[in-house]
Amino acid sequence: MILVQSVTSVILAYYMQNVALPIRVCSSLDKLNRDFLWGSTDERKKMHMRMSFYSLGLYSTKARNLVLLAKLNWRVMEDPNSLWANTLIAKYYPNGIMDERLRSHRSGFSNWKGLKKGHEVFRKGLRWVVNNGQEISFWHDLWVGDSPFRSLVHGPLSVWEDSLRVCDVVEGVSMWNLSTLSLAIPTCTRESIKAISVCPNRPLADKRFWDSVGGLVGGGGVIRNHLGDWVGGFSRAIGVTTSVQAELRALKDGLNLAIDFGILNLEIEMDSLVAVECVNSISTPNVFFSTIVTDCRSLMERFEKCSLKHIFREANGCADLLTKAGYNQNPDFISFPNAPAYVLEALAFDVSNATRFRLISS
């Protein structure tokens, strides 16, 4: 299984970042991985449990290909001044990367075809973090909830309302004035809007962030003493949510477990930089994470000494395995007073002086 996860499933990732693989190729690759894992051949078939019963953490090639191509769209948006992005924008994105109506080209090199394949996933995963609200369309951009407000409206909007920005319905600091709208906003959505800290005169500009479309995820963590010995661990089936929210849920579970153990001094390491910054920031958390971030901050105050820092996933292998185990487990939450067998190798590696290489883009 380790060979499949680290070699055969990953070896094509370089190509899938730029090229949209045919569906038949993706299906063949998935079949090769399954046959290799279970020892199946054309002459001798092996039986195994359905994926709905259990998951070994193997990626669907087609789904991973789409996500990587969506990430390529993100890179075009984040680095528009680079030579390669400039070329693509000039030829294929005359109205910008966010234009839904991309130019159709019968011909075109593989990068363009890949960008077009991943564009829908890219757009669906984009959200806005509100700071001053000057760049965000009130109706057409996704900045609160699960879909743009325009999807709630049947029929045309007035010219004024159609061009409305978030800052146009703010008076002073976080004083929302929704009474100017001709259409009623649902009560639950109004409460979510009021929870957002926004100031039209704030110099900090609005920002986009891209997260994967919410999917079925798990959470997990391990508590060790200063020698690296196992104190306790857990895994949880979280359900359908985003990766950042899953990381924050796992942090909350870990804090509660540490409190149950009577730990006074705690040093927390997480491989999600976004989650770490959300909790450590002195500002009001964004509405998408406000409740869970507030809970985590409150729990951290119960320790005599508590710190939270970011590390790379390569240095967090034991927790990563527990997270994958929790993806589709039953019951939803499992606490481990002793280390389960499948993390022993990673646990020993974490406390050793051995190093693991990390590939980074230049």
Whether residue 357 lies inside any domain: the answer is no
Whether residue 361 lies inside any domain: the answer is no
Residues 54 and 167 grouped into a single domain: no
Residues 118 and 141 grouped into a single domain: no
Q: How far lies 127's CA from each of 136, 152, 165, 211, in Å? A: 10, 17, 15, 8
Whether residue 220 lies inside any domain: the answer is yes
Which pTM value belongs to this model?
A: 0.49
Number of domain units in the chain: 3
CATH number, residue 241:
3.30.420.10
CA distance 263 to 254: 11
pLDDT at 36: 72
pLDDT at 288: 63
Of 68, 101, 124, the position where a domain reaches its end is 124
What is the Cβ-side half-sphere exposure of residue 288, based on CA atoms within 13 angstroms?
A: 24
Residues 225 and 344 grouped into a single domain: yes
pLDDT at 10: 66
User: What is the DSSP code string of 108-148?
Assistant: --HHHHHHHHHHHHHHHHEEEE-SS-SS-BTTTS--SSSS-
Residues 68 and 97 grouped into a single domain: yes
**Which residue, among 102, 115, 116, 110, has the nearest Cα to 75 in the 3D structure?**
115
Residues 222 and 331 grouped into a single domain: yes
Positive/negative CA dihedral, 167, 172, 176, 178: negative
Q: Which residues is 269 bridged to in the sheet? A: 309
CB 168 within 8 A of CB 132: no
Of 210, 229, 257, the position where a domain reaches its end is 210
Residues 25 and 40 grouped into a single domain: yes
Residues 192 and 135 grouped into a single domain: yes
Residues 196 and 221 grouped into a single domain: no
pLDDT at 135: 87
pLDDT at 232: 94
Whether residue 245 lies inside any domain: the answer is yes
CA distance 122 to 130: 19
- Rg of the chain over Cα atoms, rounded to whole angstroms, equals 23
Of 89, 124, 159, the position where a domain reaches its end is 124
Residues 24 and 95 grouped into a single domain: yes
Residues 200 and 316 grouped into a single domain: no
Reading the chain (362 residues) residue by residue, the pLDDT tens digits are 556 555 666 677 778 888 888 889 888 888 877 777 766 666 666 655 555 444 555 678 888 889 889 888 888 887 888 888 888 788 777 777 776 666 555 556 677 778 888 888 888 778 887 777 888 899 888 888 778 888 887 888 888 888 999 888 887 655 788 888 888 788 777 767 775 666 666 666 777 776 544 556 788 999 999 888 899 999 988 766 778 888 998 999 999 999 999 999 999 999 889 899 989 988 766 656 777 888 899 999 999 999 999 988 878 888 989 988 887 787 878 999 999 998 998 888 877 777 777 666 54
Whether residue 362 lies inside any domain: the answer is no
Residues 106 and 70 grouped into a single domain: yes
pLDDT at 310: 92
Domain residues for the domain of 113 are: 2-124
Residues 75 and 149 grouped into a single domain: no
Whether residue 283 lies inside any domain: the answer is yes
